[in-house]
Every structure is written in structure tokens, then in C-alpha cells.
A = this chain, B = another copy of it.
Amino acid sequence: MDFTAPKGMRDFLPAEMQKRQWAMGRIGGVYQKFGFLPMETPALETVEVLEKKCGEEIRGQLFRVDDGRLALRFDLTVPLARVSSSSMFKKPFKRYCIAPVWRREEPQKGRLREFYQADADIIGCPSVRAEAELIACASEAIQELGFPAPVVRLNDRRIISAIASRLISGKEGEVLRIFDKREKIGDAACVEMLEGVGVKKEAAKKLLSELTGSSGNESRLKLAEIYSKEAAQDLKEILDLLPEYSKAIKVELDFSLVRGLDYYTGPIFELSLGKEMGSVAGGGRYDGLLSMYGQGDSAVGISLGIERLLALMKEREFEKQGVFVANAKEGFYGSALSVAAAFRKGGISALTDLNCRNLKKQVENAAGSCEWIAIVGEREMKAAKVTLRNLKTGKEELLSIEDAARKIMG
């Protein structure tokens, strides 16, 4: 019989789990500092609710529950949209959520069937101040995990849609789909595919060089104005606001950014850690989505690729647990428990020997999990003290419990 986790899913043993808890706690802390509040919804949603957002591909990836009416959520935006329509929030409403989602895909490297997302969204804010806030917040969360400041690629759906419709009318969707593949397939293949849907070769070539020309944000803003005055104005405002959050944020207007065939209606953005590490967060404005769930409203969101960030994070050396309180003789176990209780009262993690081993074995056992050992023996009990030994340096001292606690706390 097979006792591994189901296909495409993982068990997180303590060392990995400690790292995950640390990272999620950090990210949550940054979201909270920006005033985002936590919200949690069930793992299951009705298929009726899920299907409002999911495309054909994801529909096939739903983990449906026995009677077929329910399925595991495939993202965290659908639950947010549903709740936004069934509850009253003071606007703008800022929520974050770090939680698992499920997709019944063929598992492959870096793609699993259960994985966490870390989303922040702002509901009820028509101003692009919301976009700036989300980009700044995600950028800080990424740095909080020890990464350098990410580079922000910024575009607007109104611009690429205008570009596509000027290029060839009636086939905007197909053009966007080709744009979206550009980075993977290269410019030459992109031109070829554009020709395939009826775009003239010269026009396609000219456009691509125009889109990806490295001419700096100012001249790109001018180009943006040709396609959408409103979008250009919004992008300019985001560019102006971001340095106020942090000078470290680097933004590049990039009109070749598409971000899938998703539901975005305005500015879109991706945060990247350079060519090798790629995109680690992305999002945009999706003003149309909420109206599909009853109550329409402005909405902007960002999703942190937390699994990707965790995979890129160096192994963290987690502090070993505090102190192992050893009993020199079996009869002293009760006293060891009292000493451990005193340490815990002082906020220190304390272990005792559950398995009734001799002192030598206890010390060996402690060395694997603790930085300190406190020995309770005859001499110590008479003096109401413990022998505190640092397991790294081997140095030991006879100390009162209070002094030992102070030493352990550093």
C-alpha cells in the first residue's frame, strides 16, 4: 500500500513547514501594515459560482465533489467576488488571503494540484491609487522574504486592446493570444503567427519593434497616448506615486505584457526578480468581474506566487528549539518538568525527556533539536539551580532558573 500524499500534492514535514509558516507570517505582516484585513472562505464553492469566472481550461481542472454541485476553489478571486456580493463592506475594502487552491492538472515540475496563493485586493476604489498601493505592498512583501526589490513591468489592457484592434479589427482576441506568447516563442514566430491571422508582415514587424523598443518610460508614455489617453494618464499617475512608497521600486512600462487572457480591464502588472528567476507576482484591475456576482464594483488585485518564492528562498536555518531540561536520575523527572514550566513561563520553548532515557542519551537527543540543555541533578536540586550547558560551545554554568532563562533569551 502506498502511503505517500496523493498525486501532485505534498506533505510538509516540520523543517519545511517552519519555513512556510515563517514566510506566510512575514507576508501577512506586510499586508497588515498596509491596512489589508484577513478574510477566509470555504475550500469548496458551488460549481455555479466557480464557472462564472473559470475559462474552459480551468473548468476541466476542477476537483468536483461527489454530487457534482460543489468543487474545490481554483483561485482566491472567485470567493472574494462572491463574498463582495453577499456582504456589505466599507469601501475601499482591502483584504488579503493566503490559502490553498486546487487544480486537477497533470503535475509537472513546479506545478502541483494543491498550492497556496497569497492575494491582496482592493474593492471599491476607482482610482489607480489602488494599483500603486498593491504594487508597493507586494514589492515590500517580496523584499521581506530576503529577495532584492523586484522590477515592476506595467501595462494597461486598454492599450494592448487598442493596438490589437488597430492592427486588425475583429480578431483582437487572437492577436492578444499571440502577444501573450511572444516572450516564449520569440519575435520572429510572433510575426509569423500574426500573419497567420491576416496581419501584414510589415505592420506586425513595425509594431513589435515599437512595443519593445527600449526607449524609457517617458517616451513610452507618449506612445501610450496614441492608443489610449485614459490609460496613459493612469499609468503616469502610478509611475508618479510609486517612488513615494519607496525609492527602491523600479518600474518599466512594457506594452508587450498581456497577463493571460484574463478578466483585466485596466492597468496590469508583473513583478519579476530578473530574467532567471522570472515573475513572482502579478495582477491588475478587473472592474467587470464583480458585476458577474451580483454587485458590480471597482476591483484591483495582486497575487504573490508564494510557492515560487518559497522554492527560490534559500534554506533557512531555523533557530533550534530553546532548551532541553534533562533529569540526571529518573526520580528527578518531576523537577525537570517544573523547571521546564518555569522556562515556558518566560516564553522559552522547553523539552523534557519523555522516553525515560539515561542522562547520556538525553544529552545526545537534545543536541539534535536544542541549543541549550539544562541539567537537573542532586547538586542542582539542593541549590535550587540548574546546570546550563550551551550545546554548541560546550560551556556550562550552575545558574538559578531566572539567570538561565536570561542567558537563553540572549
User: Interface residues, chain A, CB within 8 Å of chain B?
Assistant: 1-6, 9-14, 17-18, 20-21, 32-35, 37-46, 48-49, 63-66, 68, 70, 72, 79, 82-83, 85-87, 90-92, 95, 100, 102, 104, 114, 122, 124-127, 129-130, 132-133, 140, 240-241, 244-246, 293-294, 321, 333-335, 337-338, 341, 344, 347-356, 365, 368-369
Within the complex, what minimum Cβ distance (angstroms) separates A364 from chain B? 11
Q: Known interface pairs A13-B87, A130-B354, A351-B35. Does A293 touch B3 (Cβ–Cβ under 8 Å)?
A: yes
For the complex, give the distance between the alpha carbons of A248 and B6 in Å: 44
Within the complex, what minimum Cβ distance (angstroms) separates A87 from chain B? 6
For the complex, give the distance between the alpha carbons of A113 and B5 in Å: 23
Would A344 and B34 count as touching, CB distance under 8 A? yes
For the complex, give the distance between the alpha carbons of A126 and B356 in Å: 10
The interface residues of chain B lying within 8 Å CB-to-CB of A66 are 63-66, 68, 104
For the complex, give the distance between the alpha carbons of A235 and B209 in Å: 80
The interface residues of chain B lying within 8 Å CB-to-CB of A34 are 344, 349-351
Would A356 and B11 count as touching, CB distance under 8 A? no
For the complex, give the distance between the alpha carbons of A331 and B43 in Å: 44
The interface residues of chain B lying within 8 Å CB-to-CB of A10 are 42
Would B18 and A38 count as touching, CB distance under 8 A? yes
Q: Known interface pairs A45-B6, A66-B64. Does A83 touch B11 (Cβ–Cβ under 8 Å)?
A: yes
For the complex, give the distance between the alpha carbons of A77 and B63 in Å: 23
Would B43 and A102 count as touching, CB distance under 8 A? yes
Closest residue of chain B to A32 (Cβ to Cβ) is B349
| The 8 A-B residue pairs with the shortest CB-CB distance in the complex, in nearest-first order | A14-B37, A244-B337, A9-B42, A35-B351, A3-B86, A64-B66, A244-B334, A12-B40
Q: Which of A91, A104, A344, A352 gathers most chain B CB within 10 Å? A: A344
Q: Which of A2, A5, A114, A129 gathers most chain B CB within 10 Å? A: A5
Would A44 and B17 count as touching, CB distance under 8 A? no
Would B349 and A35 count as touching, CB distance under 8 A? yes
Which one of B14, B37, B85, B341 lies within 8 Å of A246 (CB-CB)?
B341
Which one of B127, B244, B245, B356 lies within 8 Å of A355 (CB-CB)?
B127
Within the complex, what minimum Cβ distance (angstroms) separates A400 from chain B? 18
The A contact surface, by secondary structure, is: mixed
The interface residues of chain B lying within 8 Å CB-to-CB of A85 are 3
Would B341 and A122 count as touching, CB distance under 8 A? no
Q: Known interface pairs A11-B42, A114-B42. Does A35 touch B321 (Cβ–Cβ under 8 Å)?
A: yes
For the complex, give the distance between the alpha carbons of A104 and B46 in Å: 15
Given contacts A14-B39, A35-B350, 9 further A-B contacts (CB under 8 A): A5-B42, A17-B38, A33-B348, A35-B369, A43-B43, A126-B355, A240-B334, A245-B338, A246-B341
Closest residue of chain B to A122 (Cβ to Cβ) is B354
For the complex, give the distance between the alpha carbons of A347 and B41 in Å: 28
For the complex, give the distance between the alpha carbons of A85 and B1 in Å: 11
Within the complex, what minimum Cβ distance (angstroms) separates A237 from chain B? 10
The interface residues of chain B lying within 8 Å CB-to-CB of A338 are 244-245
The interface residues of chain B lying within 8 Å CB-to-CB of A369 are 35, 90
Would A41 and B244 count as touching, CB distance under 8 A? no
